[in-house]
Amino acid sequence: MTLLVRLLGAVVALGFVLLAVGLIADERRASSATEDAAVVALVPRDDRPTAEGPAYERAAKLEAAPGAISVVRDPLGGEDKVFRFTVEEGDVYPVTPTEDPRAQALLPSTIDPGEEFWLRMSVMVPGDFPSLPGWMTLAQVYGPPYAGSSPWQLNIRGDELMWQRNGTYDYDIPWQMRLPKRRWVEVLMHQRFAADGWVEMWIDGERVTFFDAGSYDPSGEAPTQRLAMATVDASNGEGPNHAKIMQYREAGMLDSATVFFGALKVGATREAVE
C-alpha cells in the first residue's frame, strides 16, 4: 500500500509555521514477516501526488520562520527536488521554539519504546559553508518530555560531521568525519528504541565502526559496529518519538546559513526506507 500526502498551505500559530510539504506513507510486505512493515517519509514536492489504493492522511509539521524552509531543485544538478533550510540569526523564539536559531521538519510520532526501526536521510552543505566555532544539529529522534538534549544528534562542529550522544554519555562523540562540502552525504541508521537499545549506522553505504581510532573523540570504549546505549532516557522517554531534520545552531555564530536535505524516511525494515 502506498500513501503520498502533501500538507497544503502555510499556517502561522504561536509563531510556528506549517509549510506545504509532501508526506509519504508506504507499507510493504517483508518476506519473513507476517504483517506489513510501514514507512513514513517527508519528501519535498510542489505538486499534490495521487495516492493509489487505500490511504490515510497523517500530518507532518514544520516549525520555522516564514520562508526558512523551501523546496528547490537540487543545487548540484540532480533531477530530484530537495529541502533548503536557510536560517537567519533572528529565527528564534517566539518565531521558532528556542532562543537559538532553528528551522525543523518533524515526522509524526510513530516510534514506540521497544521497537526497532530504520532511518534514512541525506544532507548537503554548500561549498562556502564556514567552519563553525559552536554546534549545529541536523537530525535527531526525540519526544516527550523534551527534557534537554535527545539521546543522539547528527551534528556539525568546526569542520567535522559527527554523531554525538547527550549528557547520559557526557556528550561523547562515537563517530565523526571531515565535513564534505558540495556533495550529498547519505545516512542510514538502524536502531532499537529502548533504555537497553542500540544503534547501527552507514554513511554513504559504508558501515560505521563507532569509536574507531581516528574517527571519534576518545573515550576509552572498544570499537563496535552495534553501539549499545540508552536510546530512550529521561529526555525522551514519556511517549512515542518522532524523527526530524533540522538546522538548529548555537546563537551568535552566523548571520545566516543554508543546509540542504533530501527525503527523510523512517520504516520497520531496511527495504522499506530504500
Distance CA 162, CA 142 (A): 18
Q: Which residue has the higher pLDDT, 214 or 91?
A: 91
Torsion sign over Cα 20, 250, 218, 183: positive
Band of pLDDT at residue 45, cut at 50, 70 and 90: confident
Distance CA 38, CA 25 (A): 7
Q: Is the peptide bond before 218 cis (omega within 30 degrees of 0)?
A: no
What are the residue ranges of helices labelled H in the chain?
A: 270-273
Domains of the chain: 69-273 (2.60.120.200)
Burial of 253 (0-12, 13-18, 19+ CB in 10 A): middle
CB count within 10 Å of CB 136 equals 24
Alpha-carbon Rg for the chain, nearest whole angstrom, is: 18
Q: Which residue has the higher pLDDT, 182 or 19?
A: 182
What pTM was computed for the model? Answer: 0.83
pLDDT tens sequence across 200-235: 999 999 999 999 877 766 667 889 999 999 999 999
Cell for 88? 537567519
Angle, vertex CA 229, rays to CA 226 and CA 235, nearest 5: 140
pLDDT tens sequence across 125-184: 999 999 999 999 999 999 999 999 999 999 999 999 999 999 999 999 999 999 999 999
